Amino acid sequence: MAQLSELEVFRKTVYAEARGESVEGQKWVAWVIKNRARLNRQYWGGSKIKDVCLHPRQFECWNGVNDISIHEPEVYRQVCEVVDAIYHADPNDDPTNGTDHYHNPDKEGIPSWVHNCVFVKKIGNHTFYKSKS
């Protein structure tokens, strides 16, 4: 993983976590990652997007792997366009208003951390939340 740049890790995380979702859903997943880095919480991995993505037990796609294989190059290209725009975006352009959590209730049920969050929106298979202040 050390050989991967921050942008590559960001792209691959969104690809692995949201490749089957709409562009809007992919954007929201990317903003969750960017917002976590902006909030700079140690339990999420700190202030760097790469560290947030790779922090243990934060994003399922990185559990026990050193890289994410790209099996759908056209989907990956589209995800890269979404992620690249968000990577360079001003935090004030965040359409999620600071959303910092999401999950797929069909895969995971309702995680315990949901009780510390406020529901924001459901997009496709993902439900998005913002931490309570």
pLDDT band of 65, cuts 50, 70, 90: confident
Residue range 3-32: average pLDDT? Answer: 97
Digit-coded pLDDT (tens) for 108-132: 889 999 999 999 999 999 999 999 9
Predicted pLDDT at 66: 87
The answer to whether residue 59 scores a pLDDT higher than 70 is yes
Q: Hey, what long-range contacts does 68-73 have (CB within 8 A, 24 or more apart)?
A: 68/12, 68/13, 68/15, 68/16, 70/12, 70/15, 72/19
**What is the pLDDT at residue 18?**
97
pLDDT at 4 over 80: yes
How far, in Å, CA of 45 to CA of 41, rounded? 7
Given a cut of 70, is residue 1 above it in pLDDT?
A: no
- Which phi and psi angles does 117 have, rounded to 5°? -130, 165
Instruction: Answer for the pair 10, 49: CB distance below 8 angstroms, yes or no.
Output: yes
CB 63 within 8 A of CB 57: yes
Residue boundaries of the structural domains of the chain: 6-131
pTM value is 0.95
- Overall residue count recorded for the chain in this entry: 133
